[in-house]
Structure 1
Amino acid sequence: MKKNNIIYWSTTGLFSLMMLFSGSMYFASPEVQAGFIKMGFQDAFRIELGIAKIIGALVLLIPFFKGSVKEWAYAGFGITLISASILHASIGDPAAKIISPLIFLGVLAVSHIFWKKRLQAVN
């Protein structure tokens, strides 16, 4: 059980910190804003995605949130990361921008697996 907790909190913490940083950069960085324009998105989508990343990261971190709410956060992040990788590939971005969302998808998957293992151990 202790090993599962360490793996869960390590991956969840790492992933959530990255999403909190990423979400905040959507509001603070002119480069990120320019990137969204380059990809053809309206500014409202950047704001919406920034808010969603911050809320989702908090849902993963705060133990109060359980069950379906956490499951939806995991699903939303999974869709976002796969979409980001596909989008970066479609506009010809460098390999690092295509692969990095997939690496974080792997971290998210480990977090989800160990979240489920922790739930099974409690029940």
Structure 2
Amino acid sequence: MKKDKIIFWVATLIIFLFEGVMPAFTSQTEMAKEGLRHLGYPEYFGNALVVFKILGVLVLVIPKAPKNVKEWAYAGFGFDFIFASISYICVEGFNFLAVFPLFFLGILAVSYIYYHKISKTVNA
């Protein structure tokens, strides 16, 4: 059980840092805005995305958050990573930037799997 919790929290904290902290501090930089424009998205889309990312990571790290809300947060991040990869493939072709979000999708999957492992042992 302790190993499962450690794996869950390491994976979840990586998602927290990558999807919550980094966007919160860098979303208004010119580089981030140019990245969105380059992919064909309007600036307001980036602002909305950052708000939902911050809310999503808070749901993932707050232990008492309702389970169905956590499921939606996991799904939202899954869609985010998949569509980020698709966006890069459509604009720039298949390269490192297209694969990079899929790496974090894998980390998200680890967090999700271990979240359910921990939930089963707590409820049993």
- TM-score (norm: length of structure 2): 0.93
Q: Which residue is equivalent to 1:105?
A: 105
Deviation (angstroms), 1:122: 1.0
After the TM superposition, list the runs of 4 or more consecutive aligned residues in structure 1 that deviate by more than 3 angstroms. Answer: none
**Which letter does structure 2 place at the counterpart of 1:83?**
F
| CA–CA separation in structure 1 for the residues paired with 2:9 and 2:19 | 15
In the TM superposition, what whole-angstrom CA distance separates every residue of 1:88-120 from its partner, at most 9, and x where no partner exists?
A: 011015622111100000000000000000010
User: Larger deviation: 60-69 or 3-12?
Assistant: 60-69
Q: Is the 8 A contact 1:26 1:50 kept in 2?
A: yes
Matches within 5 A, 1:1-123: 1-24=1-24, 25-27=26-28, 29-92=29-92, 95-123=95-123
Identity across matched positions, percent: 39
> What SS does the corresponding residue of 1:63 show, helix, strand or coil?
coil
Aligned residues: 122
- TM-score (norm: length of structure 1): 0.93
Q: Is the 8 A contact 1:23 1:50 kept in 2?
A: yes
**Which letter does structure 2 place at the counterpart of 1:59?**
V
| CA–CA separation in structure 1 for the residues paired with 2:64 and 2:2 | 20
**Which letter does structure 1 place at the counterpart of 2:30?**
P
Runs of at least 5 residues in structure 1 that lack an aligned partner in the other structure: none
Runs of at least 5 residues in structure 2 that lack an aligned partner in the other structure: none
> What SS does the corresponding residue of 2:6 show, helix, strand or coil?
helix
User: Larger deviation: 35-44 or 93-102?
Assistant: 93-102
The Cα RMSD (Å) is 1.2
